[in-house]
Structure 1
């Protein structure tokens, strides 16, 4: 009987490892910069970053739908988020754009196109809690070898 109890505990604890965090990433996130995963970076407070002037941003609602602006492009869609780790220092998990729609047809720059390409290919997120400041929370979205860094006002 004791062996069955231990087996059930192990099965349920391993199957519950991935969970959905209802409000972990909700809210407006503004793009700070991109960098390669093999670069050393210490730029959470990047010189010249002005939150109110950021031209790329998205608003995540109910951890499923988003709307955003990429320069003059209005966009929206759905995202699948599944948390793998949630702790005091780091929260991380899967982040996949499942639908991406552009609602208007403005003049698009190469930088806009490059950003859209990276954003649509995001597969993971990391929230490094100890990197947060008095003003901002930070979110890293991983797209291949690129990391897109976003900030959110507290």
Structure 2
């Protein structure tokens, strides 16, 4: 078992708020892979893993304040995690029939208002970065607004307070 600690955040930055956790228990990560999305007073940044392994336990959640050197996750070796997962499986697996796929839901058309520009989709397997200043992110959190549901009106769909 190894502890994954938050690396140094930079000059004069002692702590940050966790905006997003990019890993979950059971994930296999590599050294340098982003594991947290952090927000300081001046920027939003991703924190990389200092070493690789299989995540046994995540110790932080969005909204937590973290400091440099704090343990953010516990890593275990992949062999021990695979053995634990095999032990949990049923001795005999029954063949399961695939559930029928539901028909796609139809969405009623919107009233004839000003058309909104389409949100560019995220590349397959990646999260979409939201172009917004840290102050706007904080305001949205305080107001309970999910920025993934907002289309920015600024250049490159940037979200602002106005």
**As a proportion of its length, which structure holds more strand?**
1
Bigger radius of gyration among the two: 2
Coarse TM-score class (shorter-chain normalised): under 0.3
> TM-score, normalised on structure 2?
0.23
> TM-score, normalised on structure 1?
0.23
